[in-house]
Amino acid sequence: MRTTRRDLLKLGTLAAAGAALPAMAGQAITAGTVPKADKPLDILILGGTGFTGPFQVAYALARGHKVTLFNRGKRPSPEWPGDVEQLHGDRNTGDLKALQGRKWDVCIDNPTSLPFWVRDAAKVLKGNVGQYLFISTISVYADGSKPGMTEDAPLAVYKGKDAMAETQASLMADVEGLYGPLKALSEAEVRKHFGARSTIVRPGYIVGPRDETDRFTYWSLRVEQGGEVLVPGDGQDPIQVIDGRDLGEWMIRLAEAGTTGTFNAVGPGYPLLMDAMLYGCQAVSGKAIQPVHVTPAFLEQEKVDLPIWVPRTGSPYSGYGQVSSARAVAAGLTYRPLATTIEDLLAWFHGLPADRQAKPRAGIDRARETELLAKWKARATG
């Protein structure tokens, strides 16, 4: 029924796996459509082949910047629309030799969930990068139930024995207690080593082409099929999503402007409710739908989880659909139309291999939905 911090990490792992599939990294960037930056930068991206990284790379190249990637080289890189330097190492083992003796104007740290990754990176990059941009998460907040959370809200507190000894294995085993606090401590490491040259970006749900979690994709696909749609709640719960391209491209603009500070990166740029999101999907697909609203209690009873949605009250995650993006918008975050995100997402998904399309990674299948609709109607008329 809700997406927990455990789900966020597991689904984030799936998002990273998207690099092995059709990239679409430069899908919306064609020659001449993006103006060159006033000053070319030498940009280091840690990661770069996952979900948003390719969008950062494509946009940076279009703006005239030089790009270097550092990762393990375990996943195939997309076909970049320009020259990209590739360095290999492993942050899990502290192998950062490829970064030694090099200087960059900017470092963008995409994949870090563990404080020691930042600590070790700082050992070779401190004094060798002009700005450090860190991708965090809204899961760092101590109380996810409060609407209107700003960047100044209290952060989750780590209660383990040794934060620097935590690994990806421990995250996967106990992410409910570790994911948010370790992300918060990773932010603290960034500020400790890079100080006033730090930029912290906290996204919510990242969606669009290359999203291997299928969270938002579930609703786009389901509406595309038309008919009665099982919808959690009364249709009036707030939804916040941000297109991965909007996030990735904004990161490059933050680097160009030298913007520092902490920002919630959520969208769209207006209040969006559950039913409005569904009808937005309908406008793209052209298929008529009839939302059938069911109560959270019914979903709980049936042990059903539906992605993206959280009730606007009564949940420890109710605030996830109501986070303030005012500071990010003031710093230049822009949003493409939601219809564009939906259209491009569907085009990307339908271009995946048939076996992948046949096994969505979020939501419920039609047979289960039909069963639930029948139970709900029988209950309502009984």
Task: Reduce the secondary structure of 143-163 to three states and give it as a string.
Answer: CCCCCCCCCCCCECCCCCCCH
Report which residue type is found at 146.
Answer: K
- Kindly tell me if the per-residue pLDDT of 13 is higher than 70: no
- Kindly tell me if the per-residue pLDDT of 8 is higher than 50: no
pLDDT band at 171 (very low <50, low <70, confident <90, very high): confident
Region 198-213 average pLDDT:
96
Q: Which fold has domain 5-374?
A: Rossmann fold (3.40.50)
Q: What are phi and psi of 45, to 5 degrees?
A: -115, 120
Q: What are phi and psi of 105, to 5 degrees?
A: -70, -35
Per-domain residue ranges of the chain: 5-374
286 contacts: CB under 8 Å, gap ≥ 6 = none
Region 71-85 average pLDDT:
83
Rounded CA separation 342/345 (Å):
5
Tens of pLDDT, residues 279-318:
999 999 999 999 999 999 999 999 999 999 999 999 999 9
Q: What are phi and psi of 199, to 5 degrees?
A: -130, 125
Of 70, 93, 66, 95, the residue nearest 82 (C-alpha): 66
This prediction has a pTM of 0.91
